[in-house]
């Protein structure tokens, strides 16, 4: 039974870089007095909707996600996303997602359904490959893959687009699975060694 998981594989920036971007309009020279004003500045920028400086920080995630949640990710076009492609490769791991809040009966039924679908997927490629070409067999066999199938997505956000994603997807109105992905991402950002985005997170009210 697969779970949707998130890994933070890289990031760029910190509170100071965001603040210096904002101060470009006057002077980027960073004095001790200005450094002490960074928390106040970031809070004011976020509160007043001056979000452009926050685009200078980026987060790079690797997400193992069910296809349904991947579709939610793709709706955020200001994120940069590449994903595992069943058109160019055969998905041999046969990973799939099973909701943890389902009872055993329906978890078993979904598992059985996905296992059967995966068998059909591989059989289709092997049997139709010699007839219509392996490339065409691989891309068309994808029709056997249900929404629960998991793929790996490479996702990069700048902080502004990340905040928009979290606002929309960590909401009581969002589907549970994409909400859990958003929550995992926020937890990973909060857990970066040295807390380089401490004041940025405080400005966004993400520190509670």
> For the CA atoms of 138, 144, 146, 152, what is the dihedral angle to 10 degrees?
-10
> For each of the chain's 208 residues, which pLDDT tens digit applies?
578 999 999 999 999 999 999 988 777 777 888 889 999 999 999 999 999 999 999 999 999 988 888 877 777 766 667 777 776 777 777 889 888 889 999 999 999 999 999 999 999 999 999 999 999 999 899 889 888 888 888 999 999 999 999 998 999 999 899 999 999 999 999 999 999 999 999 999 876 5
| pLDDT value of position 120 | 94
Q: How far apart are the first and last CA of the chain?
A: 32
Give the torsion sign (CA, 196, 202, 206, 208).
positive
| pLDDT value of position 1 | 55
Buried-exposed string 98-126: b where 16+ CB fall within 10 A, e elsewhere: beeeeeeeeeeebeeebeebbeebeebbe
Q: Could you tell me the pTM of the whole model?
A: 0.85
Largest CA distance in the chain: 73
List of domains in the chain: 5-83+152-203 (3.30.1360.170)
């Amino acid at each position: 039974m697969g779970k949707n998981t998130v890994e933070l594989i890289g990031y760029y920036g910190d509170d100071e870089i965001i603040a210096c971007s904002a101060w470009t309009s006057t002077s980027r020279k960073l004095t001790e007095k200005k450094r002490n004003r960074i928390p106040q500045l970031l809070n004011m920028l976020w509160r007043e909707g001056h979000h452009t400086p926050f685009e200078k920080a980026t987060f790079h995630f690797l997400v193992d996600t069910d296809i349904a949640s991947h579709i939610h990710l793709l709706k955020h076009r200001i994120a940069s996303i590449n994903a595992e492609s069943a058109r160019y490769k055969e998905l041999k791991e046969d990973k799939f997602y099973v909701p943890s809040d389902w009872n055993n009966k329906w978890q078993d039924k979904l598992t059985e359904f996905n296992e059967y679908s995966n068998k059909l997927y591989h059989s289709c490629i092997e049997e139709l490959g010699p007839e219509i070409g392996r490339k065409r067999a691989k891309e068309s066999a994808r029709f056997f893959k249900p929404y629960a199938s998991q793929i790996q997505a490479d996702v990069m956000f700048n902080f502004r687009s990340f905040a928009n994603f979290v606002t929309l997807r960590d909401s009581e109105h969002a589907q549970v699975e994409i909400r859990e992905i958003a929550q995992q991402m926020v937890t990973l950002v909060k857990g970066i060694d040295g807390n380089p985005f401490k004041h940025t997170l405080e400005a966004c009210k993400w520190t509670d």
